[in-house]
Structure 1
Amino acid sequence: MWRHQRCTVCCIRTASPPWRGRPRETTWAWCCPCCRRHRSKTSPNRSPRGRGLPLLQLYCLKDRGVVHELMARAEVSGYQGFAVTVDSPATRDLTIVPHEWMMFSQAMQLPHLPAVANSAISPLIRFELMKDPALTFADLVTLQKKTRLPIWLKGILSPGDAVLAASLGFRGIILSNHGGRRLDSEIAAVETVSAVRRALDRAGFEVTLLVDGGIRHGNDAFKVLALGADAVMVGRAPLWGLAVGGEHGVAQVLKRLNEELVLAMKLTGCSTIGELTPEMIYVRPGSFAVDSTTLWDAPR
């Protein structure tokens, strides 16, 4: 992704608009509007042009002044919100990650973060050290007060955290386990979709619920949407398309995903996304985060 000079441009130009309210009207949310802008060469002073909702992905750093500056620059450049990653205040020992990843990290650049003169530390490790390991919901509320734009919280998996986030006024929640790269044996986002949706509905909150992780086929999207997500986020599959065929490759992957989703809907008798229900999904008894005894009563 970071190797491709026009990654952000190619992906955004093929992205569809994200969902904007119930009943759900669109299904796909492409990862590029939530670019890793700390590491991207695309300037926060220039909002990506596309048909989607441009969100600036942010991490909470120890130096809040840097974060506030990025947010201010994004506000005046046309971004419409922020996706704040909350699931990685700490990382695993970077000395034992795969050799290929460390080689790749040496080529990373951090053009929008303060430079460190003559630093022998790789950009990846330097970025990890800049994160705030003591991040709390109170910090996130303070961050929300610093901007007029809405904030989505990315990396929540707990129904309790989802309800708390909604009660604090955050616009949306992105269920994600960070690609399984943070906590070993962590549940997948799909395993908690139904529980989170039920918790939000019972508490009376209407917030956008997005899900990422493991969406490789249209059938995967069908399952997540039926369990209660408003839209799904895709990343790796379009990036493979990008690697093979640039912008055209991304477009072909998204087209294929959509065709697979449409076929699954036809085969289950659904003419709209709003007709997808939990009853269409078989959940193996004993699943970590889905209570199969009450799944069928989940309010929709």
Structure 2
Amino acid sequence: MSSPPLQAIPSDTASLADYERHAGTRLDVPTWAWLQGGAADELTIRANRDAWDRLTLHPRVLRRLAGGHTRTTLFGRTLAHPVILAPVAYHRLAHADGEIGVALAAAAQGAGLVLSSQASTRLEDVAQAIGSDPDRGPLWMQLYIQPDRAFTRDLVARAVASGYEALVLTVDAPTSGARDRERRTGFSLPDGISAVNLRGVRPSLKVSLRPGQSALFDDLLHHAPTWDDVAWLRSITHLPILLKGVLHPDDARLACEQGAHGLVVSNHGGRTLDTVPATAHALPRVVEATQGQIPVIVDGGIRRGTDVLKALALGAQAVMVGRPYVHALATAGARGVAHCIRLLRDEFEIAMALTGCATVADIGPQVLCRTD
């Protein structure tokens, strides 16, 4: 059976913002609200983007740049460039290509991929689709620790057996945020799309609440993970563990003390708690707190190659992008995702060259123009 033809990329697509514009016409209103929406008044979503925009760059001239490259290393592995696709649930909501298409696109462009535990495709199938590609980027697995710890142990074992190279533990969502935009549309998953890797997880036992008790504090949060669970996770796997959702320097220091192997400075794309700091503002403080002990990655509002450069100048080793590649997936399937990554990498190379940086190692605070 022949493969279906690749979907065409709209001819007026020159930036990640163009993919967002096209995706808005392709997804139904509830799905668009689920993807784009954030917590409460969505101030953090806007702050993420504004913070990158407010940082300005210092160009340099007449530098020796021939032979430069974007290669970097993480956990002893060489990456073609420091762009990683963040975990986003239910790719098949955006396009039939789903997680397989995203994985193939990431592999074709040498980008890292973090598969969501709420993926709509089996983790084994995603790994098998790209596992033999020698030029692919790293393949990591995102986790929420389930109340059913035995299920979580089995899920980790499946990831290890399938060749996933690290675990990304989301730590900033012991409860969901108040996502008004999503709730107004009545979003729900359509038939045929589900978190297939979480099938079989035993639901937590419901507590019979007494009058005046809270469904959150007196029930749900009894099962929320703690630092003890980070130690437990370390005890059941040899894979590196990154904590995703760290904004406070004290938590960064604790992560180092508890043996975390890396951090992702993230505010969950503005989807959990509104009015928290933009990740560009939190990043330098987290980097300082780690004192170079572990790598730091950042996400939240990355839309341009200049944002990637700014993130590395502030101390990040790599960036993650989430919504933009889903916009590209919704617009043009796997081909769109590959093009989205290429656009970001091309812009990053241009930004490097125009600030006098031939390699990632050349990028530092000196590329930022301080206006204070």
Identify whether the pair has TM-score above 0.5, normalized to the shorter chain.
Answer: yes
Once the two structures are superposed, residues 161-193 of structure 1 have per-residue CA deviations (whole angstroms, 9 ceiling, x without a partner) of 112212222211111100101111011211111
Aligned-partner Cα distance in 1 for 2:97–2:360: 32
Structure 1 position 169 matched with structure 2 position 272: no
Aligned to 1:58, which of 125, 143, 151? Answer: 143
Q: Which one has more relative contact order, counting CA pairs under 8 Å at least 6 apart? A: 2
Aligned to 1:182, which of 249, 267, 272? Answer: 272
What is the letter of the counterpart of residue 254 of structure 2? L
Asked if structure 1 preserves the Cα contact closer than 8 Å seen for 2:167 and 2:240, the reply is yes
When residues 29 and 177 of structure 1 are mapped into structure 2, their CA distance, relative to the original with a 3 A threshold, is farther
Residue number in structure 2 paired with 1:43: 123
What is the letter of the counterpart of residue 112 of structure 1? N
Aligned-partner Cα distance in 1 for 2:246–2:195: 26
Alignment of 1:95-134 (within 5 A): 97-100=182-185, 102-107=186-191, 108-114=193-199, 133-134=223-224
What is the letter of the counterpart of residue 37 of structure 1? S
When residues 250 and 106 of structure 1 are mapped into structure 2, their CA distance, relative to the original with a 3 A threshold, is closer
Alignment of 1:64-75 (within 5 A): 64-75=149-160
Aligned-partner Cα distance in 1 for 2:160–2:221: 22
Asked if structure 1 preserves the Cα contact closer than 8 Å seen for 2:148 and 2:201, the reply is no
Aligned-partner Cα distance in 2 for 1:116–1:136: 20
Runs of 4+ in 1 over 4 A off after TM superposition: 93-96, 114-117, 129-133
Alignment of 1:212-223 (within 5 A): 212-223=299-310
Aligned to 1:89, which of 142, 154, 174? Answer: 174
Name the SS of the counterpart of 1:105 in structure 2: coil
Asked if structure 2 preserves the Cα contact closer than 8 Å seen for 1:58 and 1:84, the reply is yes
What is the letter of the counterpart of residue 184 of structure 1? D
What is the letter of the counterpart of residue 368 of structure 2? I
When residues 169 and 79 of structure 1 are mapped into structure 2, their CA distance, relative to the original with a 3 A threshold, is same
Question: Between the two proteins, what is the percent identity of the paired residues?
Answer: 35
Asked if structure 2 preserves the Cα contact closer than 8 Å seen for 1:12 and 1:52, the reply is no
Aligned-partner Cα distance in 1 for 2:295–2:229: 21
When residues 159 and 110 of structure 1 are mapped into structure 2, their CA distance, relative to the original with a 3 A threshold, is same
When residues 275 and 66 of structure 1 are mapped into structure 2, their CA distance, relative to the original with a 3 A threshold, is same
Aligned-partner Cα distance in 2 for 1:90–1:11: 28
Aligned-partner Cα distance in 2 for 1:158–1:255: 32
Name the SS of the counterpart of 2:298 in structure 1: strand
Structure 1 position 158 matched with structure 2 position 248: yes
Aligned to 1:8, which of 92, 99, 124? Answer: 99
What is the letter of the counterpart of residue 47 of structure 1? A
Asked if structure 2 preserves the Cα contact closer than 8 Å seen for 1:153 and 1:174, the reply is yes
Name the SS of the counterpart of 1:47 in structure 2: helix
When residues 138 and 181 of structure 1 are mapped into structure 2, their CA distance, relative to the original with a 3 A threshold, is same
How much does 1:46 deviate? 5.9
Q: CA RMSD in A?
A: 2.8
When residues 9 and 46 of structure 1 are mapped into structure 2, their CA distance, relative to the original with a 3 A threshold, is closer
Name the SS of the counterpart of 1:174 in structure 2: strand
Paired residues, number: 259
When residues 257 and 116 of structure 1 are mapped into structure 2, their CA distance, relative to the original with a 3 A threshold, is closer
Aligned-partner Cα distance in 2 for 1:29–1:221: 14
Aligned-partner Cα distance in 2 for 1:265–1:39: 34
Return 3-12 or 91-100, whichever deviates more.
91-100
Name the SS of the counterpart of 1:156 in structure 2: coil
Aligned to 1:209, which of 296, 303, 307? Answer: 296
Q: Which has the larger radius of gyration?
A: 2
When residues 239 and 5 of structure 1 are mapped into structure 2, their CA distance, relative to the original with a 3 A threshold, is same
Name the SS of the counterpart of 1:144 in structure 2: helix
Which consecutive residues of structure 1, in runs of 5 or more, have no partner in the other structure? 19-27, 118-128, 286-300
Residue number in structure 2 paired with 1:298: none
Asked if structure 2 preserves the Cα contact closer than 8 Å seen for 1:144 and 1:151, the reply is yes
What is the letter of the counterpart of residue 326 of structure 2? L
Once the two structures are superposed, residues 91-143 of structure 1 have per-residue CA deviations (whole angstroms, 9 ceiling, x without a partner) of 2357874333x3343554132334599xxxxxxxxxxx988653211111111
Aligned-partner Cα distance in 2 for 1:110–1:230: 30
When residues 29 and 154 of structure 1 are mapped into structure 2, their CA distance, relative to the original with a 3 A threshold, is farther
Once the two structures are superposed, residues 240-297 of structure 1 have per-residue CA deviations (whole angstroms, 9 ceiling, x without a partner) of 2222222221121111111111111111111111111123224565xxxxxxxxxxxx
Alignment of 1:24-43 (within 5 A): 30=112, 33-43=113-123
Aligned to 1:265, which of 352, 362, 370? Answer: 352
Return 160-169 or 260-269, whichever deviates more.
160-169
Aligned to 1:236, which of 314, 323, 340? Answer: 323
